[in-house]
């Protein structure tokens, strides 16, 4: 007598089992995709947070006390600038070469950097009287936050050389050219020098904008 053949499972049950397996596999794939997306989003957020932080700027010196004259005729002391982030440059009104470019960049900085003081120190204070500086400032489109400073020649020279530590030479006859620095100097609210930047170099000026913004907004200490 022959043994009975084993009964095959119904086709419907087989289809249900296969469908369940596919669904489980699909859920597993979806879970993996979600985990990858979460990991990617986390990485992006970490990178963004790191980008928001700015490296600490070095302290390169301190601006000493001084008493000079602003273009409006008022006295300007170092203490008057305390509490403000500010940028200094060094120009003179009849400069034939680099000064117009430096002043043009300062004009751009006053548009880009709200709440930041700009201070242009004349390296020819004998000729750059407050009246002359007022005319120069008007041509440059200077707003009230952009100061133009003059004063006794010896006081200005000492401030540039011993305070800002920038190049300055005016020892020749009146007709001799004045040699001076093209640096922009970033100063914080405690009168500490935080950076030197080549005013004739666009990339360095862009770096100045980034550093100044971070210092102003508290992103750099």
Q: How far apart are CA 30 and CA 51, in angstroms?
A: 31
Contact 155, 58 (CB under 8 A): no
Tokens of residue 31, six digits = 């879970």
SS (H, E, C) 103-141: HHHHHHHHHHCCCCEEEEEECCCCCCCHHHHHHHHHHHC
5-29 pLDDT per residue, tens = 556 555 555 555 666 667 676 666 6
Contact 87, 185 (CB under 8 A): yes
Q: How far apart are CA 16 and CA 55, in angstroms?
A: 61
150-206 pLDDT per residue, tens = 999 999 999 999 999 998 776 655 556 688 899 999 999 999 999 999 999 999 999
pTM comes to: 0.74
Q: What is the pLDDT of residue 41?
A: 46
Give me the helices (H) in the chain, please.
11-52, 78-81, 98-112, 130-140, 153-158, 202-216
Dihedral sign of CA atoms 122, 178, 207, 78 in order: negative
For residues 99, 61, 86, 190, the Cα torsion angle rounded to the nearest 10 degrees is -160
SS3 75: strand
Task: Report the pLDDT averaged over residues 40-66.
Answer: 66
Does residue 150 or residue 40 have the better pLDDT? Answer: 150
Q: How far apart are CA 127 and CA 3, in angstroms?
A: 124
Q: How far apart are CA 92 and CA 135, in angstroms?
A: 12
Contacts (Cβ under 8 Å, ≥6 apart) of 91:
99, 102, 103, 120, 121, 122, 123, 180
Q: What is the pLDDT of residue 185?
A: 99
91-128 pLDDT per residue, tens = 999 998 899 999 999 999 999 999 999 999 999 999 99
How many CB atoms lie under 10 A from the CB of residue 71? 25
């Amino acid at each position: 007598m022959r043994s009975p053949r084993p009964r095959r499972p119904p086709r419907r049950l087989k289809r249900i089992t296969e469908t369940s397996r596919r669904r489980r596999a699909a859920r597993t794939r979806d879970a993996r995709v979600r985990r990858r997306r979460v990991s990617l989003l986390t990485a992006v957020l970490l990178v963004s947070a790191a980008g928001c932080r700015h490296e600490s700027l070095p302290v390169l010196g301190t601006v000493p006390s001084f008493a000079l004259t602003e273009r409006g005729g008022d006295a300007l002391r170092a203490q008057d600038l305390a509490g403000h982030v500010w940028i200094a440059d060094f120009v003179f009104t009849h400069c034939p070469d680099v000064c117009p470019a430096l002043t043009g960049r300062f004009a751009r900085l006053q548009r880009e950097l709200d709440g930041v003081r700009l201070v242009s120190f004349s390296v020819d204070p004998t000729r750059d009287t407050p009246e002359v500086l007022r005319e120069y400032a008007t041509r440059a489109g200077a707003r009230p936050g952009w100061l133009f400073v003059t004063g006794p020649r010896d006081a200005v020279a000492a401030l540039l050389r011993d305070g800002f530590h920038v190049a300055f030479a005016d020892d020749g006859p009146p007709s001799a050219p004045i040699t001076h620095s093209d640096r922009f100097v970033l100063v914080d609210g405690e009168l500490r020098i935080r950076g030197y930047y080549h005013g004739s170099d666009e990339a360095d000026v862009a770096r100045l904008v980034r550093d100044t913004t971070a210092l102003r907004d508290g992103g750099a200490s």
